């Protein structure tokens, strides 16, 4: 994994995680940092998967960024879907 791939993964993950925070309903008990951390981790995982799949990761490629976006979005959707709803009684 190159430095540019890691920086791209961090930026994609942070942007999607922060953006997803606006989409997660306020009634969910999810701290701000959870979607961001999950999205960053998923984007880094996507870079690793792209490398194992044979995608050229010597620089930033469109396939790698696409995989990062898909993995990060899936990770955030999983967190948002399984988060505690924080019902009021």
In the chain, the number of structural domains is: 1
pTM exceeds cut of 0.85: no
Please, are residues 22 and 75 in contact by the beta-carbon 8 Å criterion? no
What pLDDT was estimated at residue 89? 45
The answer as to whether 87 is a domain residue is no
Question: At residue 58, what are phi and psi to the nearest 5 degrees?
Answer: -70, -25
Q: Is 25 left (phi over 0), alpha (psi -120 to 50) or beta?
A: beta
| Domain interval for residue 51 | 3-82
Per-residue pLDDT of the chain (89 residues; tens, 9 = 90+): 678 878 888 888 888 878 776 765 555 667 778 878 888 898 889 888 988 888 876 777 888 888 888 888 888 888 877 776 655 44
């Amino acid at each position: 994994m190159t430095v540019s791939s890691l920086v791209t993964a961090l930026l994609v993950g942070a942007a999607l995680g922060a953006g997803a925070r606006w989409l997660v309903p306020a009634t969910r008990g999810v701290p701000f940092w959870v979607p961001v951390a999950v999205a960053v981790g998923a984007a880094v995982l996507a870079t690793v998967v792209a490398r194992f799949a044979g995608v050229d990761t010597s620089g930033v490629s469109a396939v790698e960024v696409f995989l990062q976006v898909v993995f990060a979005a899936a990770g955030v959707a999983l967190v948002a879907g399984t988060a505690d709803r924080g019902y009021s009684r």
